[in-house]
A and B are shown apart, each in its own frame.
Chain A
Amino acid sequence: METETIQQLLAAAFPEATSLDVEDRTGGGDHFQVTVISPSFAGVSLLDQHRRVNEALASPLADGSIHELRIKTKGPQ
């Protein structure tokens, strides 16, 4: 799976994000590190921030296109 596809899914789910980054950790197209910095995370627990990212990528997670996902989220600085 292409990093661009994940980037698009995240952009659709977090239109207000100030930073969206997707890294293919192994070059194999199935181990990804995503970073989402968004003002919408203000006052949201870390658990729920990660839940939202998981939900945005639910489809590729469910069908195995993403084998391993690392998530880093941040609210407004």
Chain B
Amino acid sequence: MKTLNEQISDVISQEPVALFMKGTPQMVMCGNSYRALQALHAAGAPITTVDILPDARIREELSAISGWPTIPQVFVNGELIGGADITEELNESGELRQKLDDALGADRSQDVKVVELQLA
């Protein structure tokens, strides 16, 4: 089995848009995670979410990889975009949609997918 660090790195590098959040899109457990999710929806993003709540180590490993201390965290094509505030701000200015168009093309899927990490 891959380590937690490897699994998180895989999600970041392989998913077009990765959202590390508290809860799932069906059951969001934090206002900031909800704001990030809504901003991504509004910008027409495909979204792959990872719930960080099942184990404290998920958040520790994630922050070690990204250098970003808080949740949520949004990545597009492996690049850290930011947390809820930046994602919201970039959506409102239109830059988020532009970034997604550039990275994934305008004719992209908008599927929402949940990845569950395997905990040792």
**Interface on A for B, CB 8 Å cutoff?**
46-47, 50-51, 54, 58, 61-62, 68-72
Contact = CB atoms under 8 A, between A and B. Distances in A.
The prevalent SS among residues of B at the interface is mixed
The prevalent SS among residues of A at the interface is helix
A25 to B, nearest CB: 10
B85 A47 contact: no
Given A68-B31, A68-B32, A50 B85 contact: yes
Interface of B: 30-32, 67-70, 80-86, 89-90
A47 B31 contact: no
B94 to A, nearest CB: 14
Contacts of A72: 85
A51 B85 CA distance: 12
B67 A47 contact: no
Contacts of B32: 68, 70
A51 B68 contact: yes
B85 A54 contact: no
Contacts of A62: 69
A51 B86 contact: no
B28 to A, nearest CB: 14
Contacts of A70: 32, 84-85
A69 B70 contact: yes
Contacts of A69: 70
A47 B82 contact: yes
Contacts of A51: 67-68
Contact of A47 (B69, B84, B86): B86
Given A47-B86, A51-B67, 12 more contacts: A46-B90, A47-B82, A50-B83, A50-B85, A50-B86, A54-B69, A61-B70, A68-B30, A68-B32, A70-B32, A71-B83, A71-B85
